[in-house]
Amino acid sequence: MSYVDEVLKTVREKNASEPEFLQAVTEVMESLRAVVDANEDKYRKYGILERLVEPERIISFRVPWVDDQGNVRVNRGYRVEFNSAIGPYKGGLRFHPSVNQGILKFLGFEQVFKNSLTGLPIGGGKGGSDFDPKGKSDREVMAFCQSFMTELYRHIGADTDVPAGDIGVGAREIGFLFGQYKRITGLYEGVLTGKGLTYGGSLVRTEATGYGLVYILDEMLSHIGESLKGRRVVISGSGNVAIYACQKAQQLGAKVVTMSDSNGYIVDENGIDLDVVREIKEIKRGRIKEYIDRVPGASYHEGSRLVWSVACDIALPCATQNELDLESAKLLVQNGCTAVAEGANMPSTLEASAYFLEKGINYMPAKAANAGGVAVSALEMSQNSERLSWSFDEVDRMLKDIMKEIYRMTSEAAEKYGHKGNFVVGANIAGFEKVAEAMIAQGIC
Ligand code: NDP
């Protein structure tokens, strides 16, 4: 049995109840076959694959808080510190009722390779809670965040583990978490990224994941003599990533015709009016269906998965994992879609992503496509260490350069190992090689 198959077998036996984690490990391991086979003795000797698939540490804790009616509520909090070979653990916090250990392990595992691809010195981690901020008052969210940080603070720090936002964790939550960290430790340090601009945040961090997604998409299109100009784009989600992907795609001349949330999607043939979406989502914390009350001619459809039935040239899944299955992939291709770039983490099922590759779709997987968020988080860490703030244009230029470089590394790695144009293989190999070398250099730990 090959080294990859041996490790995959053990991972499946040990993590049978964590389907998302198994899915992420399977995708990465399958992509790494060529590079692992070519260096099997070295990687086996140092137990690289066995160590890569096991988090360095998982912290799980009780988060008690009191709601507005005076009831005691209890959620479960986690931090998965996956791999620190190339830097302090770095990765977001997710607050969503679906959060469990398996989902955070999948996200933490993916983060290790993504962070390596950015070229910046950051390891991989992820955390969160099954707490649902939706429908909670600001006071309830604050009470939860303060309780969450009252445990988490002992495990994180500017040079050890630096969390950020993710689903359900935006500027409001990061503010409450930072305030509590500072209060407990007395330290004013870059322990979280995605902070507000008045207390150590970086310009462009809010926009970074969505902008970065469109920058790498544009780079991919330019290599085949195409651009975003005049292209019809379908976007899922209406959160942080979706909003700024929409904004940048529109700035580059595309027409974005959909956005969605977990209940349904809107179609606006005139192109999405992003000011209206931002007011509904960022200010009112409302639902996407409110868009049709504000924009004549737009329509709303129940059922978020059907967003992929809307004809487009380019699809940008920006909501959540496994939101795009084989049936949706077939619909997209059948209706003329020729490019897919993933803003969300692992939005395509294994079958859907295999289908895109089989059909020759220009397909940029999440690990490369959404790395702009964590890249600017790392730039926020640098600014915090220097006690400086860089301008919007400076950070935006760095983000653009980083996304171009990720494209270059990803396409070169794919070509080197005989998979030209397969950015899934390219991203996994390019991310893996640096982490593996660092792990070998640091001995068995
Ligand atoms: P937000 O919380 O800002 O928005 C999430 C969006 O996805 C909302 O529109 C939400 O709808 C929708 N959504 C969430 N869960 C589901 C579901 N089960 N089915 C359908 N729609 C759903 O999160 P972000 O925009 O920050 O994150 C979106 C994705 O991007 C995630 O996969 C995240 O891991 C990834 N990502 C985010 C980064 C960042 O910098 N923020 C960086 C890299 C990746 P609803 O309101 O109905 O829940």
What digits encode the pLDDT tens for the residues 46-73?
999 999 999 999 999 999 999 999 999 9
Query: Residue 107: inside a domain, yes or no?
Result: yes
Q: Which of 329, 364, 399 is the last residue of a domain?
A: 364
Cα(87) to centroid of ligand 1, in Å? 26
Do residue 116 and residue 242 come from a single domain? no
- 317 Cβ below 6 A of ligand 1: no
DSSP of 53-108, one letter per residue? TS-SEEEEEEEEEE-TTS-EEEEEEEEEEEE-SSSSEEEEEEE-TT--HHHHHHHH
Do residue 178 and residue 212 come from a single domain? no
Do residue 99 and residue 217 come from a single domain? no
- CA–CA gap between residue 33 and residue 1 (Å, rounded): 12
Query: Residue 257: inside a domain, yes or no?
Result: yes
Tell me which residue range forms the domain holding 93: 3-189
Percent of the chain having pLDDT more than 70? 100
Do residue 221 and residue 175 come from a single domain? no
Do residue 71 and residue 161 come from a single domain? yes
Mutate which of 129, 240, 274 for ligand 1? The one with the most ligand atoms within 8 Å of its CB, which is 240
Do residue 82 and residue 118 come from a single domain? yes
Do residue 69 and residue 212 come from a single domain? no
Percent of the chain having pLDDT more than 90? 100
Do residue 256 and residue 177 come from a single domain? no
Query: Residue 283: inside a domain, yes or no?
Result: yes
Cα(318) to centroid of ligand 1, in Å? 6
Query: Residue 438: inside a domain, yes or no?
Result: no
Do residue 25 and residue 85 come from a single domain? yes
What digits encode the pLDDT tens for the residues 174-195?
999 999 999 999 999 999 999 9
What digits encode the pLDDT tens for the residues 321-373?
999 999 999 999 999 999 999 999 999 999 999 999 999 999 999 999 999 99
Tokens representing 118 are 């950015």
Do residue 108 and residue 185 come from a single domain? yes
Q: Write the CATH number for 7.
A: 3.40.50.10860
Look at the chain and report how many structural domains it folds into.
Answer: 2
Do residue 177 and residue 324 come from a single domain? no
Residue positions annotated with a catalytic role: 126
- 83 Cβ below 6 A of ligand 1: no
**Mean pLDDT score of the chain:** 98
Do residue 91 and residue 37 come from a single domain? yes
- 239 Cβ below 6 A of ligand 1: yes
Atom of ligand 1 nearest to the CA of 170: 3
Segment 402-423 shows an average pLDDT of 97
Q: Write the CATH number for 237.
A: 3.40.50.720
Query: Residue 24: inside a domain, yes or no?
Result: yes
Query: Residue 406: inside a domain, yes or no?
Result: no
> Atom 30 of ligand 1 has which residue's CA nearest to it?
344
61 forms beta bridges with 77
Pairing type for strands 264-267 and 299-302 reads antiparallel
Name the nearest CA neighbour of 350 among 333, 326, 314.
326
Tokens representing 261 are 């949330």
> Atom 3 of ligand 1 has which residue's CA nearest to it?
239
